[in-house]
Chains A and B, each alone.
Chain A
């Protein structure tokens, strides 16, 4: 009963809330930066979670695991749909290289920092240290467009060139983050003990990809003949549930598996527009539900977490700064951009939260609650810091 009632409340709140958040509801300026990004749903999660109303207690959250996998699958599919090669080709290849390099450098900086600091503050096995470092650095590598979306049209028109590259990087750099995160699932299984983990990893990757290809074919079979909207909706929902289920069964990430399926569909399926219409139809409620779920898992066990989150944020900031500097200095084509391009890449947005949610569901461990709190705090820090530095970057741009 509790599970159902909790689900009902969060679904209704998420549904009604997103109308306020994403449908151009006019808010006072001071609240807009915070509220329009959906961060308030994290707090709603806290309110519903074990520390306050206790509607989403640990047991309830466990009962809703399958709903969680579906939500992850949906976000994965949508993210995969962003990688339509024909569309990506409309932009210069240098932009693509810049996005990948920037996120990779951020990943390296954050990974090395977390990997060396974590054993100092907690006694964790080596494999878990790698898993946590990979997750935290993958989450750090992502960038969101939320800050850019909130800029005034006048400001956007005056800095179109810089905004274009920032927009491109922030929509693409999640790719490396997601691929890095996929590695986590190969470390977290019994077969990875010993020296043969790399071989196992390769085999399991190939195996999972083959299954995903099979699922893509299944999608194509279903949408090859003409179907009305109702039938398409049914097929998409069933396939998303099926893909998420298979990924979880194979100890893999529903987010990554669905991303791969989405990527294949957008590039190899002729009726992709119809599919995309269905995916995007409930994108926002899905994203906000994930925020609520994560909010409910948020535990601020120690005030040290506030400092650690600030440290994590700093590492990410350094990574983004180095990334921005390197892409504008290594590539002569991009040398006209400001060297501190990284100032405009601080918003974290939804994908790291989906990564975090996937981590929480798929890799249960004692330290998971701490990791979630750390990243959530970092997301909030970045929500405040990001817009300020973005405006500063744009003002300095001629």
Chain B
């Protein structure tokens, strides 16, 4: 009863404060911007406002048992360029460095959240989930698009060859998921246990696997549309090399972090934040430099480096819990900024153009995920209630899928534009629905400590 009363009071406080801050923000937006100093001020103001509004909205949603990241994403959508334009496209581009920091930071957390002992115990379940999720989801989406693609207005004019290429690419993109959302919700719910560990293991592993799968899909699509006649094995050798080097660098970095914690320990959260940013930017710089100066096409994967670093600290040093505590202490500002900006980046235009196709694809993807998780769970003799509800944990999609779509767009200008539009719309649906179902399933299986 006391809790109920407290919740009611908090709800009123948040709604009132949010309304006042929003009104004030709307009034400030009417001011004339005359100088670059004011422009910088407007950017700062918008950022601060979005952070506060996201935080308050998330608290309101928490009272009604919805995940915090849904609040951040919703505020991002409302503040974004398609609704109120508090965050313009230029600002979102300008805040790219926040995304880079956040993604690397989340990758560190994802790596740190994987426990080797648990992974060893659940190896079979994880492998089966990965296998079925890849094959079944790809199969369902591919077949659906091959047979139905010509019935949607957006893709009506594509030739049958283009439809098949399109189906291959979108099938692979449908397999991708969002480790960042998974980590954020697991962290928010303080979830732990075999189900959580499996979901995390599958999500993180698929983030690596998707790079390889997408390269295969790109090559296949190229063959289908006639741009190439055979598989280029060199591409796969290059990718494998990049992955191995990234893993190795990440492991070394992990050892470095463990050394820092052991010997210095001061300001660890700040150190980790800067490190996350550093890895992201230095990898990019190294990739460009190697290409420009030595003609070597080495594309290190910053996320993989960070995941591997986190995994090393957690499993090959004694500093795992201190490391995770430090990450947790700064996780909130990172999540708020990252998901608000992700929400602001969601593309309304794309959704408007192909909302029906996106809904159909989302539905097919859900069916595919359900079949895959049910099959994998049943074969590996998981508890039946896990198998019935595991699909809810795999819906979220975000940055990786967008990145893949953009790569495809560059490769196939003819169908790429349609592909990006459809994928953006699909992500819109999955990113709004996914966190809600994920939080619900963690509660259903009883592994969430905070409801």
**Interface residues in chain A, defined as those with a beta carbon under 8 Å from any beta carbon in chain B:** 1, 3-5, 7-8, 11-12, 15, 19, 23, 62-63, 65-66, 68-70, 190, 214, 218, 221-222, 225, 229-231, 233-235, 237-251, 281-282, 285, 361-362, 364
How many B residues have CB within 8 A of the partner chain? 50
Given contacts A7-B97, A8-B278, contact A241 B51 (CB under 8 A): yes
Contact B55 A238 (CB under 8 A): yes
Partner of A249, one of B21, B45, B52, B94: B45
Specify the chain B residue showing the minimal Cβ separation from A12.
B274
Task: Decide yes or no whether B316 CB sits under 8 A from chain A.
Answer: no
Q: A8-B278, A15-B271 in contact; A65/B36 too (CB < 8 A)? A: yes
**B59-92: which residues lie under 8 A (CB-CB) from chain A?**
none
Q: Are A248 and B281 in contact (CB under 8 A)?
A: no
Q: Which of B10, B31, B47, B48 has the most CB of A within 10 A?
A: B48
Q: List 14 A-B contacts (CB under 8 A).
A: A4-B281, A66-B44, A230-B330, A230-B332, A238-B48, A238-B55, A238-B333, A239-B52, A241-B48, A242-B52, A244-B44, A248-B45, A249-B45, A364-B35
Report the separation of the CA atoms of residues A249 and B49 in the bound assembly, to the nearest whole angstrom: 14
* Interface of A (DSSP majority class): helix
Whether the Cβ atoms of B37 and A65 lie closer than 8 Å is yes
Q: Is the CB of B37 within 8 A of A361?
A: yes
The answer on a CB contact under 8 Å between A4 and B40 is no
Are A4's CB and B100's CB within 8 A?
A: yes
Number of A-B contacts (CB under 8 A): 138
Contact of A233 among B34, B282, B330 (CB under 8 A): B330
Q: How far in angstroms is the closest Cβ of chain B from A275?
A: 15
Given contacts A234-B55, A248-B40, contact A239 B48 (CB under 8 A): yes
Rounded to whole angstroms, the CA-CA distance of A70 and B333 in the bound complex is 15
| CB-defined contacts of A242 to chain B, threshold 8 Å | 44-45, 48-49, 51-52
Cα separation A268 to B36 with both chains bound (whole Å): 34
**Which listed residue, A8, A19, A237, A249, touches B277 by the CB 8 Å rule?**
A8
Given A240-B48, A248-B44, A249-B33, 20 more pairs with CB closer than 8 A: A4-B97, A5-B281, A5-B285, A7-B97, A8-B274, A8-B277, A8-B278, A15-B267, A65-B36, A66-B44, A68-B40, A230-B333, A237-B51, A241-B47, A242-B45, A245-B46, A245-B49, A248-B37, A248-B45, A249-B42
**Contact B281 A8, beta carbon cutoff 8 Å:** yes
Report A-chain residues with C-beta under 8 Å of the C-beta of B13.
221, 225
A62, B36: Cβ atoms closer than 8 Å: yes
Q: Is the CB of A230 within 8 A of B331?
A: yes
Map CB proximity to A onto B87-110 as digits: 1 under 8 Å, 0 otherwise: 000000010110010000000000
Question: Which residues from chain B contact A229 at a C-beta distance below 8 Å?
Answer: 329
Q: Using A19-B266, A234-B332, A234-B336 as known contacts, say yes or no to A245 and B10 having CB atoms under 8 A apart.
A: no
Contacts of B48 in A (CB 8 A): 238-245
Closest A-B pairs by Cβ, 9 of them: A248-B41, A245-B45, A242-B48, A245-B44, A241-B48, A238-B51, A65-B40, A249-B41, A230-B332
Assess the A225–B43 pair: CB atoms within 8 A.
no
Given contacts A233-B330, A235-B55, A285-B270, contact A245 B41 (CB under 8 A): yes
Nearest CB in chain B: distance from A287 CB, A: 14
CB interface residues, B 1-58, toward A, < 8 Å: 10, 13, 17, 21, 24, 28, 31, 33-49, 51-52, 55
Q: Which residues on B sit within 8 Å (CB–CB) of A281?
A: 267
Are B330 and A249 neighbours in the complex by a CB distance under 8 Å? no
Question: Which among A3, A11, A225, A364 is the interface contact of B37 at CB below 8 angstroms?
Answer: A364
Report B258-292 residues with CB < 8 Å from chain A CB.
264, 266-267, 270-271, 274, 277-278, 281-282, 284-285
B43 → chain A closest CB, angstroms: 5
**Is B328 an interface residue, CB under 8 A from the partner?**
yes
Q: A23 touching B270 by the CB < 8 A rule? A: no
Whole-angstrom CA separation of A94 from B239 in the bound complex: 73
Whole-angstrom distance between the alpha carbons of A379 and B84 in the complex? 46
* Cβ–Cβ contact A251 & B37, under 8 A: yes
- Least CB distance from A345 to B in Å reads 32
A-side contacts of B44, CB under 8 Å: 66, 69-70, 241-242, 244-245, 248
Question: Which residues of chain A are near B331, meaning CB under 8 Å?
Answer: 230
* Contact assessment for B38 and A251 in the assembled complex, using a CB-CB cutoff below 8 Å: yes
**Distance of B350 from chain A, by nearest CB (Å):** 27
Check A66–B40 contact: CB distance below 8 A.
yes
B292 to chain A minimum Cβ distance, whole angstroms, is 13
Closest CB in chain B relative to A395 CB, distance in Å: 37
A239 vs B332: C-alpha distance in the bound complex, in angstroms? Answer: 15
Q: Which of B350-404 contact A (CB under 8 A)?
A: none
Q: How far is the CA of A164 from the CA of B328 in the complex (A)?
A: 41
Are B10's CB and A225's CB within 8 A? yes
Which listed residue, B52, B100, B264, B266, touches A238 by the CB 8 Å rule? Answer: B52
Q: Which residues, 272 to 326 on B, are CB-close (under 8 Å) to A?
A: 274, 277-278, 281-282, 284-285
Residues of B108-163 contacting chain A, CB below 8 A: none
Cα distance, A1 to B285, chains bound together (Å): 9
Q: Given the complex, which residues of A lie within 8 Å of B17, measured CB to CB? A: 218, 221-222
> Which B residues touch A225, using CB under 8 A?
10, 13
Query: Is B274 a contact partner of A15 (Cβ separation < 8 A)?
Result: yes
Partner of B329 from the list A5, A233, A250, A285 (CB cut-off 8 Å) is A233
Q: Which residue of A lies closest to B48 (CB)?
A: A242
Interface centre among A222, A244, A245 (most CB of B within 10 A): A245
Q: How far is the CA of A362 from the CA of B45 in the complex (A)?
A: 16
Q: What residue of chain A has the Cβ atom nearest to residue B53's Cβ?
A: A238
- Docked Cα-Cα span, A8 to B49, in Å, equals 25
Chain A residues within 8 Å of B100, by CB: 4
